[in-house]
Structure 1
Amino acid sequence: MNRRSESDLTRRGLLRRAGLGAGALALGPTLLAACGSDGSGTTTKAASAAAESPELKKLLDGITSKQVVIGNYGGTTEAARKKAFWDPFTERTGVRVVSADIPGRLGNQMLAGEVPAKWDAFHGSAAEALTAQQEGKKPLPKVPSIAYEDLIPAEFQPYMWQSFYVAYVPASLKGTFSGAGPQTWADFFDTKKFPGKRSWPGKDYTPGTREAALLALGVAPDEIYPIDIERADAKIKTIWDDLVFYDQFPQAQSFLTSKTVALSFGPNGMWKALQGKGISVDVRWTMTPILQPNGMNTMPDAPNMDAVQALAAFCAQPERQAEFAVLTNYGPPSKAAFDAMSKAEASALPNAPGRTVVAPDIKWLADNEGNLQDANKKLFAG
């Protein structure tokens, strides 16, 4: 794989140390119980009542494989998948879903066709899928058309499934600030008007950081890309002494709950899990959320191709997508999933209808991940 893929592995090193999925996936074992509720008492429409289309029924009934192997990072995101997708799939088909830990670069090598596939799919990113499409030795298999997710960019719909949107957004403990408290990214960077430390990702992680800095400078959400890295880093340096760095996502939560920081920046699933544990957390949704899609990528030579193709289609059922979204607070990949949940549930999600967001330029991010990592090294060295 090229330098783009190598730098993405650095990002995934942080995720792996935290026991989380790519792009920030919830929490460690102590908060595992949080994945089932946000304390609101609302529930999605019963996923078990999802009707099978003739196309889906044909795929499910036609499976001859006995298992399907999925590479992932564990944590509460995998627990939510198990509840919303894996267990119902096994109950419906009798096919066992095997969860495999992602070591080193193995997932990328299998996706590129460089080594024989041991898994059928793994939790990756749109950028990894793009790299494999452009540079892999074998073409990526397309999922069945009924598995396409209409809120995912069209060019990735054939290659990603069980997708969801992570939002990078700050949070604070209730009562930290008087009145409404900080409302904008400019406020996040204003430690005089809103005193207190801010948690920030360490040198191995780039998603969302430059976007946040540019939003603080007044750049419009739809003009963030291409990122002006030098300008963004200059803004980050203005509060460098007020930043507390983390290299595992649970640290970002600990910095917040211990009041080490007044504002903690990271993936929104972390704040959902704290709320599920009864901790009063204000997610600062008025600070424009920075979105990134995550999802499953199917291996070119998946050992159980019939099962993984059927599983991809099974996961596209709106009721199941809605259940996963409510469990994790990650945004669903289809418009129909929003119709399968209550208005209160929908309004709490990163890509809720009507919410202003920074939509990712996946190609730019994939092409420039190495440049972003190099900029991080320079930023932290200084």
Structure 2
Amino acid sequence: LEGVTEKQVIVANYGGVTEEARKRIFWEPFEARTGIQVISADEGELEVPMTMGEIPAKWDAVHGSLTNTYAAQLEGKKPLPKMPKAAWEDLIVPAKLRPYTWQSFFIAYMPSTVKGTFSGPQPETWTDFFDTKKFPGKRGWPAEYFTDGVLQACLMGDGVAPEDIYPLDYERATAKLASIFGDLIIYSEYAQAQTFLTSKAASMCYAPNGLWHELEGKGVQMSTMWEATPILQTNGMNTMPEPPNPKAVEALAVFCNEPKMQSEFAEATNYGPPTKEAFEELSPAQVEALPNSPQRSNVLPDNPIYLAEEQSKIEKEVARVFSES
């Protein structure tokens, strides 16, 4: 962390409670320690072309997934920079991808509903989520450019066992999505997903688990369907090709690889920590509530290398359903 002359580091993100937690737990202590200012930018349409090296990077890093990381390595016009070993050596992610991600955490895409939405039997599975006759009401669903986990959810909703999800059966998955398309209401921002449930515009909604944790923190009684197989995804900060502040972003990456801070972030967001040491900082009850808890056996593990290789086809197939439905 010593000897960095750059005065700022620019990180793009989705905002919300996740970024508020990052700022409090990682960014502000880093600023106090180094004097380097962490500037937050709104992640939007520039994220993909910047990460792919198609346009010059205005940011140093962006919130993304390991799938995004590997897709940029496969198809990007410029190489992604490796971070110092101290930033990633303890991460529980595929070895070939560790040098390219930092401030990592595990999320789970999963369905949720507000308690009291349904009387009698309650929805518990992906099959229940897709059954709009048994459990009436609209389903909150992401816009076509949010493709993470959606085909996997569709397949499990059609009865495919988690261990049989890969390779993806595109025909079956898209048919399932098309079958309930008329019952979907589409969100383009995560805050809308929360509003769909609290306003009762939707009876159930698909989104990252941290959104439902956030609503619970605001006093909304949620029924998050942990018995449905959570779809794990590894998230974190991906460093841009040719970042404007290369030494400062390296310093920030190293600073974030600290178990105590990782555990505090997990507690604040309900997103799982990326190191075994961070789990040791949490109570048994806190560990049990996390999507990548060692005690949680019903998850669909992340498969970033396969999904990166299939990313273009996934995007095309989801877009096709939206255009035809």
TM-score, length of structure 1 as denominator length: 0.78
Compared CA separation, residues 370 and 138, structure 1 to 2 (3 A): closer
Q: Which residue of the partner structure matches residue 192 of structure 1?
A: 133
The within-5 A match list for 1:204-215 is: 204-215=145-156
Identify which of 126, 134, 148 aligns with 2:74: 134
- Cα contact 1:143–1:312 (8 A) shared by 2: yes
Residue 62 in structure 1 maps to residue 3 in structure 2: yes
Q: 1-side partners of 2:74 and 2:183: how far apart?
A: 41
Q: 2-side partners of 1:201 and 1:93: how far apart?
A: 39
Q: 2-side partners of 1:202 and 1:303: how far apart?
A: 31
CA displacement at 1:334 relative to structure 2? 1.5
- Cα contact 2:177–2:321 (8 A) shared by 1: no
Q: Which residue of the partner structure matches residue 110 of structure 2?
A: 169
The one-letter code matched in structure 2 to 1:85 is F
Identify which of 286, 290, 298 aligns with 2:231: 290
1:92-137: per-residue Cα shift (whole Å, max 9, x none)?
Answer: 12221122234533x4444444544433222222233223323444
Compared CA separation, residues 116 and 193, structure 1 to 2 (3 A): closer
Residue 122 in structure 1 maps to residue 62 in structure 2: yes
Residue 203 in structure 1 maps to residue 144 in structure 2: yes
Q: Which residue of the partner structure matches residue 344 of structure 1?
A: 285
SS in 2 for 1:157: helix
Q: 2-side partners of 1:108 and 1:213: how far apart?
A: 25
**Gapped runs of 5+ residues in structure 1?**
1-59
Residue 87 in structure 1 maps to residue 28 in structure 2: yes
Q: Which residue of the partner structure matches residue 304 of structure 2?
A: 362
Identify which of 256, 266, 270 aligns with 1:329: 270
Structure 1 residues 365-374 or 340-349, which shifts more? 365-374
The one-letter code matched in structure 2 to 1:208 is G
Identify which of 161, 169, 175 aligns with 1:220: 161
Give the superposed CA RMSD: 2.2
- Cα contact 2:60–2:239 (8 A) shared by 1: yes
SS in 2 for 1:98: strand
SS in 2 for 1:158: helix
Q: 2-side partners of 1:379 and 1:325: how far apart?
A: 35
Q: 2-side partners of 1:94 and 1:282: how far apart?
A: 43
**Gapped runs of 5+ residues in structure 2?**
none
Compared CA separation, residues 78 and 178, structure 1 to 2 (3 A): same
Residue 251 in structure 1 maps to residue 192 in structure 2: yes
Structure 1 residues 146-155 or 345-354, which shifts more? 146-155
The one-letter code matched in structure 2 to 1:121 is A
Compared CA separation, residues 179 and 353, structure 1 to 2 (3 A): farther
- Cα contact 1:222–1:359 (8 A) shared by 2: no
The one-letter code matched in structure 1 to 2:42 is D
Q: 2-side partners of 1:104 and 1:236: how far apart?
A: 25
TM-score, length of structure 2 as denominator length: 0.90
Q: Which residue of the partner structure matches residue 294 of structure 2?
A: 353
Q: 2-side partners of 1:119 and 1:132: how far apart?
A: 16
Q: Which residue of the partner structure matches residue 316 of structure 2?
A: 374
SS in 2 for 1:163: strand
The one-letter code matched in structure 2 to 1:363 is I
Between Structure 1 and Structure 2, how many residues are aligned?
Answer: 322
- Cα contact 2:66–2:235 (8 A) shared by 1: yes
The within-5 A match list for 1:260-339 is: 260-339=201-280
